[in-house]
């Protein structure tokens, strides 16, 4: 049986770890050729794990020349791009606003806001040429809607990605490009490195389903939004948080 992304070409940023890794492997398992982009070197391990359908590409999404090189690589090697999972992101250490280190603020904005915008901007010329429409899946966060103390740059950056998703959806709807976002709650990835077992316990206790999310569960939602199964959905930001934001 053909996969749900059979013969599509996809780029996944932040593919070296966590949610991006799970998305890259899931897309490949569903028949896509995946360019797995990351700055960490983790993209090479993911490509080795994913087999011939996953190819690594070293790219810092905050560097415009590197993003352009990523798109040129995809164009020259595959001649097209059907799916973009715009996922790379970083967080900041928990400080209140008056204590925030502005270098940390600038870094979060450079990667999460400028970086995701650069990736979208430079992918669009290729996406516009996709033969049967294209899909963009941004990784925003429940934090794009819901405030918690101590992560102002990160939460602001995720709010920006929610609005980027909606604006781009409207701008490119007539071109056959759908733009949506996944908005995870707390998910078991390297972003939680440094959390103590007690902190994880406390985080889990706040989630109605009773545990943190798995990257593969977010990848399932990204797959649905990337595939033609979601052909009537654009401009939407889907929360996947174990029920945390329901109450
Ligand atoms: P992660 O740290 O496991 O993965 C992030 C990946 O992005 C890493 O491989 C990292 O090397 C890469 N990356 C960082 N800066 C980059 C850059 N400048 N250029 C290219 N790649 C870069 O974390 P994750 O949880 O999988 O995060 C993925 C996305 O999910 C992020 O956008 C994050 O904000 C979002 N998110 C995560 C959670 C969570 O709880 N884990 C919740 C909501 C949203």
Does residue 4 lie in a domain region?
no
**Ligand 1: does its nearest atom lie under 6 Å from the Cβ of 116?**
no
Q: Which pLDDT belongs to residue 99?
A: 96
* Residue range 164-198, pLDDT digits in tens: 999 999 999 999 999 999 999 999 998 888 788 88
Cβ 189 under 6 angstroms from ligand 1: yes
Question: Residue 51 has what pLDDT?
Answer: 96
- Structural domain contains residue 246: no
Tell me if 17 is assigned to some domain: yes
Residue 244 lies in a domain: no
Q: Could you read off the pLDDT of 129-153 as tens digits, one per residue? A: 999 999 999 999 999 999 999 999 9
Q: State the closest ligand 1 atom to the C-alpha of 186, by its place in the atom list counted from 1.
A: 40
Please give the number of the atom of ligand 1 that sits closest to the Cα of 213. Answer: 40
pLDDT of residue 166: 98
CB 141 near ligand 1, within 6 Å: yes
Residue ranges making up the domain that contains 81: 9-238
Evaluate whether 183 touches 145 at the Cβ level (below 8 Å). yes
Q: Domains in the chain: how many in total?
A: 1
pLDDT at residue number 108:
98
pLDDT of residue 19: 98
Q: What is the CATH number of the domain that holds 226?
A: 3.40.50.720
Q: In this predicted structure, what is the pLDDT of residue 63?
A: 98
pLDDT < 70 positions in the chain: none
The gap between the terminal CA atoms of the chain, to the nearest Å, is 41
Domain-embedded: residue 189: yes
77 neighbors 133 (Cβ within 8 angstroms): no
Sheet with 237-240: list strands edge to edge.
54-58, 33-38, 9-13, 83-86, 134-139, 177-184, 237-240
Counting every residue written for the chain, the total comes to: 247
Q: Which residue has the tokens 């899931």?
A: 26
Looking at residue 191, what is its pLDDT?
A: 82
Cβ-contact 223, 26 below 8 angstroms:
yes
* pLDDT at residue 197, as a whole number: 83
Task: Report the b/e string of 7-18 with b at 16+ CB within 10 A.
Answer: ebbbbbbbbbbb
Do the domain assignments include residue 190?
Answer: yes
Task: Tell me the C-alpha distance between 82 and 187, whole Å.
Answer: 27
| Ligand 1 centroid, distance to 116 Cα (angstroms) | 11
| Ligand 1 close to Cβ of residue 115 (< 6 A) | yes
* Six-digit token string for 204: 């889990």
Tell me what pLDDT residue 195 has.
80
Radius of gyration of the chain, Cα coordinates, nearest whole angstrom:
17
Q: Where in the sequence numbering do the catalytic residues fall?
A: 154
Looking at the domain assignment, is residue 26 inside a domain? Answer: yes
């Amino acid at each position: 049986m053909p996969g749900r992304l059979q013969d599509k070409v996809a780029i996944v940023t932040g593919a070296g770890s966590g949610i991006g890794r799970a998305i890259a492997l899931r897309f490949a398992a569903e028949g896509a050729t995946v360019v797995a982009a990351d700055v960490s070197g983790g993209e090479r391990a993911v490509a080795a794990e994913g087999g011939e359908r996953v190819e690594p590409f070293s790219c810092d999404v905050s560097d415009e020349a590197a993003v352009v090189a990523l798109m040129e690589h995809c164009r020259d090697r595959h001649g097209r791009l059907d799916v973009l999972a715009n996922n790379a992101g970083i967080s900041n250490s928990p400080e209140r606003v008056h204590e925030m280190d502005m270098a940390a603020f600038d870094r979060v904005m450079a990667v999460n806001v400028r970086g995701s915008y650069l990736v979208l901007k430079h992918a669009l010329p290729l996406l516009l040429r996709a033969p049967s429409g294209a899909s963009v899946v941004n990784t925003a966060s429940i934090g794009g809607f819901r405030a918690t103390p101590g992560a102002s740059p990160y939460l602001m950056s995720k709010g920006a990605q929610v609005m980027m998703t909606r604006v781009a959806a409207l701008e490119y709807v007539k071109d056959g490009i759908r733009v949506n976002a996944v908005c995870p709650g707390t998910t078991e990835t390297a972003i939680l490195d440094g959390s103590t077992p007690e902190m994880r316990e406390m985080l889990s206790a706040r989630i109605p389903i009773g545990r943190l999310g798995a990257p593969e569960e977010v990848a399932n939602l990204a797959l649905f939004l990337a595939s033609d199964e979601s052909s009537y959905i654009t401009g939407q930001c889907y929360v996947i948080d174990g029920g945390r934001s329901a109450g």
